[in-house]
Amino acid sequence: MRKMNTAECPVLDICKLARAGGLEVGARTLLVLTSGEAIRVIAVSETELLVLHQIAYVEQRYRLELKVWTQCGDRTYKRLVCPGCANWGRLLYLRQRFACRVCQNLNTVQAQQTSTRHAENRTRQLRERLQAGMTPIDDITKPTGMRTTDFNRMIGILRKVEPRALEETRRWAARSGLGEWLEN
Ligand SMILES: [Zn+2]
């Protein structure tokens, strides 16, 4: 199962909130997350936010702590403290609860691309060595001169990496509206 990546997860960005005036104590801000869901953020104090998130008819409430410090004289900086690991940063991701990328076990988009590219390259290399062309894995026969153990090992790896490479291709096709074209 592929890890979710940061672009697919609703995110609370403290810089956006600050720009909307949402960090002023007492401010109540309505924010629309990337997923299209709305959350209400109340700045309870200099160091605490209350986030209200309505799912169906149930309202979820989250208390978020802010890390506050000043630099260059009087400029104040605020960051969101992750309830999971107490690290602080600009973003917290919402997936059942708010937490940082690491605690939510999210890939960066970049890491996702690297791992997909790896799966695609590996698939291509293996298919070349197996002289398999586009033959389905179950129908690939051992090339003459290749040792059976090598053949079995390569087939084993291909079974693992090819679905990952194909999954990404399908997702790309679905996004581009080519889904049905790739079904067969
Ligand atoms: Zn964390």
Residue 111 C-alpha to ligand 1 middle, in angstroms?
18
Phi, psi (5° rounding) for residue 58?
Answer: -100, 130
**In terms of Cα–Cα distance, which of 72, 71, 73, 18 is closest to 46?**
18
Separation of 71 CA from ligand 1 center, angstroms?
24
State residue 127's pLDDT score: 94
Task: Examine the pLDDT at 171 and tell me if it is beyond 80.
Answer: no
pLDDT value at residue 104: 92
The pairing of beta strand 58-71 with beta strand 88-89: unpaired
Residue 78: count of CB within 10 angstroms of its CB: 20
Rounded to an integer, the average pLDDT of 93-122 is 86
Give the model's pLDDT for residue 73. Answer: 76
Residues 87 and 136 in one domain: no
Q: How far apart are CA 157 and CA 32, in angstroms?
A: 43
Same domain as 90, residue 10? yes
**Distance in Å, CA 108 to ligand 1 centroid:** 15
Q: Give the Å distance between the CA of 89 and the centre of ligand 1.
A: 9
Domain total in the chain: 2
pLDDT at 177: 63
Question: pLDDT digit string (tens) for 116-152?
Answer: 888 888 999 999 999 999 899 999 999 999 999 999 9
Report the separation in Å between the CA atom of 179 and the middle of ligand 1, taken as the mean of its atom positions.
36
**The predicted structure's pLDDT at residue 33:** 80
pLDDT of 183 reads 43
pLDDT tens string 48-100 = 999 999 877 888 999 999 999 988 777 889 999 999 999 999 999 998 899 99
| Cβ 89 vs Cβ 100: under 8 Å | yes
Q: What does pLDDT average to over the chain?
A: 87
Please tell me the distance between residue 132's alpha carbon and the centre of ligand 1 in angstroms. Answer: 45
66 CA to middle of ligand 1, Å?
14
Choose one of 80, 99, 118: the last residue of a domain.
99
Calpha distance 144→147 (Å, rounded): 9
In this structure, the answer to whether residues 17 and 84 fall within a common structural domain is yes
Specify the pLDDT at position 165: 84
Mark whether 42 and 70 lie in a shared domain. Answer: yes
One domain, residues 131 and 85: no
pLDDT of residue 47: 96
